[in-house]
Chain A
Amino acid sequence: MNGFGIIKGMLVTLKHFFATYWADRTRKARERRGTVEADGLFTVQYPEESVAIPEELRVIPFLIYTLNDEGERKYRCTACGICSKVCPTQCIWITRKKTRKPENQCRRRLNSTSISTNA
């Protein structure tokens, strides 16, 4: 009980304090923030800087479409219904319409979709 432990701990915070300024002298310090190599200041100054978002990140479900020459949206969804079947909260509704069967095309087409964010 001699206070030595506290001083030892404070040296760690002091190291963090100086590491921030020491790292800032080098050009790469900003790039390193928030990564494994980060030393000193760890946080990213958000509105000015941001971290890269990985490709696998799940966001809200959305429909992908292609625009043809007439500016018409062609949805890639084939209305298979798997999303509404596996949805744990059952917040996805899919209705489908049957179209005449052109060659090499899926017969089912998406009619409408609805995702309730508070179902």
Chain B
Amino acid sequence: MTDLSRTPTIYEDLITRFPEKVTPETRSGYSGVIVDPSALLDVVSFLRDQAGFDYLSSITAVDDFPENQFEVIFHLFKTTGGRGIEFKVFTGRESPSIPSVVALYPGADFQEREVFDMFGITFDGHYDLRRLLLWEGFAGHPLRKDWKEPLYEEDIKPFKSRWPEGQGYRKELTNPYGDNVNYPREFDPEGFESDNDERLYQSLVSEVHEAAGKMQTDHLIVNLGPQHPSTHGVFRMVAMLEGETVLALKPVLGYMHRNHEKIGERNTYLQNMPYTDRLDYLASMSNNFSYALAIEKLMGIQPPERAEYLRVMMAELTRIASHTMSIGFLLNDLGAFFTPALYALEERELILDVFESVAGSRMMCNYFRFGGVVRDITENDFAMIKELVLNRLPRKIDELDRYLTDNEIVRTRCENVGVLTAEEAIAYSAAGPILRASGVPYDIRRADPYSIYDRFDFDVCYRMHGDVFDRYLVRLDEIRQSLKILKQVIQQIPSEGPIVTGKVQYTTKVPPGEAYSRVEGQRGELGFYVVSDGKPNPKRYHVRAPSMINLTSLAKMCVGGKVADAVTILGAVDIVLGEVDR
């Protein structure tokens, strides 16, 4: 064993390198260091260029309301694997502002815009700082603690009107214009004019013309979406075209925004579990997994052995279901209308049958609990999983492979389309199959193992071209690796034992502190950042949604290609709007 005391940790190194600018975090339950805003860019460029933390995972903020302070939290990781680093930047609540890191990490683009949108923290030097999820006329910044939603009742559920003095009524009927529906007295909805689209188009124009160096006149701005079959939901791409070539492109999100995080801060810890299902509704088990891991980290508990295996089993089955579906619908986007999609859906149906019988619901599983799972699987379920994993799925995946991989039309449409190099993929914080198709063998199950993934023998799938076809192949490979893991799970799972640690409780006591958990979700790194202050509900509940952050690189992939390819590329990014818009 090496002598750890001789090599300083990265935190100690930072403190000695940037004296007085970097100070250690002293609150109990918290980790990382505090960076002065003036030294932020120096610290970040040191971490990126010299310390090897090349992957920006998440940027988010916390409002310490009674105190006059916002915290902006950064999580950085190495794509070579291992533990990450976390640091915070403090800024006051009046005119909050910190430097933008978007020049160093282009992947910070959407995340900084989201923080600006939700907290009103401006990022100096961000080239296009507009609201990301909310509309431009929205009053206030909803994740500030002193912002109250319309029909606000209380900070913490359960609301007193429900229990103990419950009396069935509908709040909106009793009080249609409650005290907390407020907009400025002089506000006239008739006269409201938005400049958001103008600014959006202008940012496209300036992007292109700066690159071209001179004014071009024959360019056309086209909106793809929000209602467009290829966008898998309500999502808009604004593209600037020259003929059929995309010169610049910007995604517009938030049409389905419901402020999942604000809801999560009102809920108690356990009540958030069903809400996480609604994020990435094609892979709800993974969302449960990540959220349960975050709370378990805070509580310091470990699930029992059988529960660990059940969790891995469900997470891998979800991965197969989600990947088969994304392969099928990629072909739909290519124009192979529904035959491949339906072949893929057959297998997904069978996996959903398992979920229905195990968790009680096909898509909104709500299966995980803190310290275990909610229900044991029966003999019948286990037999069905066995039959699926050992017999049916390998056969069907091979059939799908035979059906699509050699198809000349698929290859022509997918090869060398939407190429993202390894450096770009890392810089844009792309995750999951997109990152791995670009030649970066980065899989959190291997790079920073959680749960019991260090026990299984599996390969990290990656491909070198970084195009749409490689993303398809990586997904196909990952299904095979998931089957490999599942075979080991079936062999190793203890035949009986407890499935939850301790007593089943409806109210969870979570000690104060913070935790960031991440799992390798179907679309990439799925992280939950939860801050607890000892109350029944979380002080801050943030989701690092992989499909939203993968969209940061969408423009990079589409520029230079044709409009028809943009649809293919979006299909290969495999967004789920429940997660993108939250």
A21 located at the interface, meaning its Cβ lies under 8 Å from any Cβ of chain B in the complex: no
Shortest Cβ distance from residue B376 to the other chain A in the assembled complex, whole angstroms: 11
- Quick one: which of A1-15 are within 8 Å of B by CB? 1-6, 8-9, 12-13
Q: Is the CB of A36 within 8 A of B350?
A: yes
- Quick one: which of B331-364 are within 8 Å of A by CB? 339, 343, 346, 349-350, 356-361
Which A residues lie within 8 Å of B170 (CB)?
116, 118-119
- Picked from B157, B361, B411, the residue with its CB within 8 Å of the CB of A5 is B411
Q: Is the CB of B357 within 8 A of A85?
A: no
Q: Could you give, for residues 314-346 of chain B, a 1 whenever the CB lies within 8 Å of some chain A CB and a 0 otherwise? A: 000000000000000000000000010001001
Query: Given A57-B356, A94-B166, A95-B167, are A8 and B406 also a contact pair (CB < 8 Å)?
Result: yes
Complex Cα gap A112–B96 (Å): 50
A82 located at the interface, meaning its Cβ lies under 8 Å from any Cβ of chain B in the complex: yes
Complex Cα gap A64–B267 (Å): 28
Q: Is the CB of A36 within 8 A of B357?
A: no
Residue of A nearest to B404 (CB): A9
B408 located at the interface, meaning its Cβ lies under 8 Å from any Cβ of chain A in the complex: yes
Shortest Cβ distance from residue A13 to the other chain B in the assembled complex, whole angstroms: 6
Q: Is the CB of B360 within 8 A of A84?
A: no
A88 located at the interface, meaning its Cβ lies under 8 Å from any Cβ of chain B in the complex: yes
Q: Is the CB of A81 within 8 A of B164?
A: yes
Q: Is the CB of B168 within 8 A of A85?
A: no
Q: Is the CB of A93 within 8 A of B167?
A: yes
A29 located at the interface, meaning its Cβ lies under 8 Å from any Cβ of chain B in the complex: no
Q: Which segment, of B182-190, B268-276, B517-525, B558-566, faces chain A?
A: B268-276
B535 located at the interface, meaning its Cβ lies under 8 Å from any Cβ of chain A in the complex: no
- Picked from A12, A42, A86, A112, the residue with its CB within 8 Å of the CB of B168 is A112
Q: Could you give, for residues 191-216 of chain B, a 1 whenever the CB lies within 8 Å of some chain A CB and a 0 otherwise? A: 00000000000000000000000000
Which A residues lie within 8 Å of B343 (CB)?
16
Q: Is the CB of A6 within 8 A of B167?
A: no
Q: Is the CB of B402 within 8 A of A12?
A: yes
Query: Given A54-B357, A58-B360, A85-B506, are A93 and B408 also a contact pair (CB < 8 Å)?
Result: no
Residue of B nearest to A113 (CB): B168
Query: Given A34-B349, A86-B271, are A57 and B360 also a contact pair (CB < 8 Å)?
Result: yes
Residue of B nearest to A83 (CB): B163
Query: Given A86-B506, A92-B162, are A12 and B361 also a contact pair (CB < 8 Å)?
Result: no
Q: Is the CB of A84 within 8 A of B384?
A: no
For the complex, count residues of A whose C-beta is within 8 A of B.
39
Which A residues lie within 8 Å of B272 (CB)?
88
Which B residues lie within 8 Å of A16 (CB)?
343
Shortest Cβ distance from residue B172 to the other chain A in the assembled complex, whole angstroms: 9
Complex Cα gap A100–B136 (Å): 59
B388 located at the interface, meaning its Cβ lies under 8 Å from any Cβ of chain A in the complex: yes
Q: Is the CB of A6 within 8 A of B408?
A: yes
Complex Cα gap A113–B168 (Å): 7
Query: Given A5-B406, A36-B350, are A93 and B166 also a contact pair (CB < 8 Å)?
Result: yes
Q: Could you give, for residues 454-494 of chain B, a 1 whenever the CB lies within 8 Å of some chain A CB and a 0 otherwise? A: 00000000000000000000000000000000000000000
Which A residues lie within 8 Å of B392 (CB)?
36
Q: Is the CB of A90 within 8 A of B162?
A: yes
Query: Given A36-B384, A54-B357, A84-B166, are A12 and B399 also a contact pair (CB < 8 Å)?
Result: yes
What is the interface of chain B, defined by CB distance below 8 A to chain A? 157-159, 161-171, 267-268, 270-272, 274-275, 339, 343, 346, 349-350, 356-361, 375, 384, 387-388, 391-392, 399, 402-409, 411-412, 506-507
Beyond known contacts A6-B408, A36-B388, A84-B158: 10 more, CB 8 A cutoff = A1-B412, A9-B403, A12-B402, A36-B350, A36-B392, A84-B162, A90-B157, A90-B159, A93-B163, A116-B170
Listed A/B pairs (30) with beta-carbon separation below 8 Å:
A5-B405, A5-B407, A8-B402, A8-B406, A36-B350, A36-B387, A36-B388, A56-B359, A56-B360, A57-B356, A57-B361, A81-B166, A84-B166, A85-B507, A86-B158, A86-B268, A86-B506, A87-B162, A88-B272, A88-B275, A90-B157, A90-B159, A93-B161, A93-B169, A96-B164, A112-B168, A114-B166, A116-B168, A116-B170, A118-B170
